[in-house]
């Protein structure tokens, strides 16, 4: 790919990126475990998919914060960047 060329143009921290990737994958594995466990214990109903989807979204969001794949400071910076300007 073009990563060696991009690395010549701008410096970025490979170690930091790999750490974030590892933390994000670990949160995804935890979410998968939660959804898998719920699939085992919940009876098959029409609403099971919705319950599992909601549980997956919530568990991933919580796990991303717990493993610090995304920090509160990063969330604040993101919110500052995207919030509408009320002037």
Dig out the tokens for 8 from the structure. 């010549």
Question: Phi and psi at residue 67, in whole multiples of 5°?
Answer: -80, 0
CA angle 34, 58, 30 (to 5 degrees): 35
Kindly give, in sequence order, each residue whose CB lies less than 8 Å from that of residue 42, ignoring residues fewer than 6 positions away.
48, 51, 52
Predicted confidence (pLDDT) at residue 70 exceeds the cutoff of 70: yes
The per-residue pLDDT for range 22-65, each reduced to its tens digit, is 999 999 999 999 999 999 998 888 889 899 999 999 999 999 99
pTM: 0.78
What does the pLDDT read at residue 1?
60
What does the pLDDT read at residue 18?
93
Banded pLDDT at 6 (limits 50, 70, 90): confident
More confident residue, 72 or 4: 72
Q: Are 31 and 75 in contact (CB under 8 A)?
A: no
Q: Are 29 and 66 in contact (CB under 8 A)?
A: no
What does the pLDDT read at residue 79?
92
DSSP H or E segment with residue 34: helix 14-41
């Amino acid at each position: 790919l073009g990563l060696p060329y991009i690395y010549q143009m701008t410096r970025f921290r490979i170690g930091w990126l790999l750490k974030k990737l590892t933390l994000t994958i670990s949160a995804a594995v935890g979410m998968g475990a939660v959804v898998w466990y719920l699939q085992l214990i919940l009876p098959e109903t029409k609403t099971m998919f919705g319950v599992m989807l909601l549980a997956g979204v919530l568990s991933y969001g919580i796990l991303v914060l717990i493993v610090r794949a995304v920090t509160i400071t990063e969330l604040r910076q993101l919110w500052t960047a995207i919030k509408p300007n009320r002037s």
